[in-house]
Amino acid sequence: MTNLIKQKCTILLLLITLIGSSKTWAQQDKLFSQYMFNMMALNPAYAGSRDVLSATALYRNQWGGMAGAPQTATFSIDMTVNRERVGLGLQLFNDQIGLENWTGAMLSYAFRIKIGERSTLALGLQGGAMSFRWDLSKANLGNNLSDPAFASNVSKILPNFGTGIYLSNDRSYLGISVPYLIENNLNDYDNDQRAKVRRHYYAVAGFVIGRNNVKLKPSMMARYVSGVGLSLDGNLNLWFNDRVAFGMSYRHNRFSTYAGKIQQIDGNVLKGDALVGMVELQLSDQFRLGYSYDWTRNNLNDSRKFLNIPTHEIMLRYEFGFSKSKILTPRYF
């Protein structure tokens, strides 16, 4: 019962932090431990980079067992057209945290330029809309039942667009992107308490070392958000026979993953460090399965608050039209 009360108080604190702070930050963009296998969520220029019709589904359950914890599901599909000069993609997603719910769809277009025998430079654009719902009337305010900030729900359709560049070949990649350029307002306040969607800037890179049955694949991702700062992810995956991979990642955030909502608990700033273990299985030439587990390293993991807050993430990818004549080497990215 004591843990349940603490959880409810924590969720309430998250909401009050977001609404009442003079420096209000919006929800962090979707974050994935297996970002290297779900690049469509970060960069529209990735569309068509695998040269076949590729479909990817991913589900992330963050801080499992904590009431109101983030849950994210995405589905993306992309392919090339016009003799592989153009990549087209579609991304669908749902993101739930506490009383907030985001559901959206984005269409991607990538213009692909061959700059070498195996290297391609892609320039990407995406556009679409998100349905944002904030069920503030369901918040448990305790004795403070007259707070006007929680008097009514928020429901908005938020159009947006983004851009990115992506340079890749069969052994390495480099990308820079801003998935959402418009900083939409999330509430209707006309003062410094207005909540907004902040731009997120991404830089990703990775490469493969080795050409035999054992290969090492390092990768990294840097994220920058105004008011939140710079976050870094570093990853190492070890592949065996191009069929099985084991990996580890380390994530360092100045604040937690959802920095806009969670600034402090009991007066302590939440640092969003995490250690991630993952396994990837190439079950066939067309079907890949991935799983990751995050060990969160922040104040939430303090035994005085919550004893167990694991994060699970599962990824499924299926590629249509795979053939040796189409793909001469495995696609690692």
pLDDT at 194: 63
| Angstrom distance (rounded) from CA 119 to CA 171 | 9
CA dist 17 → 9, 134, 225, 287 (Å): 12, 14, 18, 43
| Angstrom distance (rounded) from CA 7 to CA 50 | 43
| Angstrom distance (rounded) from CA 246 to CA 243 | 10
Angle (CA) 54-33-271 rounded to 5° is 155
Domains and CATH numbers, the chain: 2-320 (2.40.160.60)
Give the total residue count for the chain.
333
Largest Cα–Cα distance in the chain? 68
| Angstrom distance (rounded) from CA 326 to CA 126 | 27
Torsion of CA 100, 101, 105, 110, to 10 degrees: 40
| Angstrom distance (rounded) from CA 111 to CA 88 | 9
What tokens were used for 34? 């297996």
Q: Which residues of 21-36 are buried (b: 16+ CB within 10 A; e: fewer)?
A: eeebbbbbbbbbbbbb
The DSSP H or E segment spanning 2 is helix 2-20
| Angstrom distance (rounded) from CA 24 to CA 99 | 17
Torsion of CA 17, 18, 19, 24, to 10 degrees: 110
Classified as helix, coil or strand, 35 is: helix
Q: Which residues contact 202 (CB under 8 A, 6 or more apart)?
A: 42, 43, 164, 175, 176, 177, 178, 179, 221, 222, 223
- Return per-residue pLDDT of the chain as tens, 333 residues: 444 444 444 444 444 333 333 344 444 678 899 999 889 999 999 999 988 999 999 999 987 777 778 899 999 999 999 988 999 999 999 998 888 889 999 999 999 999 988 899 999 999 999 998 887 776 666 666 666 666 677 788 999 999 999 999 989 999 999 999 998 887 766 555 567 788 999 999 999 998 789 999 999 999 998 777 788 999 999 999 999 999 999 988 765 444 344 333 333 444 557 889 999 999 998 999 999 999 876 655 544 444 457 889 999 999 987 554 454 456 677
| Angstrom distance (rounded) from CA 327 to CA 321 | 10
What tokens were used for 253? 């955030």
Angle (CA) 103-231-46 rounded to 5° is 55
Classified as helix, coil or strand, 268 is: strand
Beta carbons of 189 and 167 less than 8 angstroms apart: no
The DSSP H or E segment spanning 8 is helix 2-20
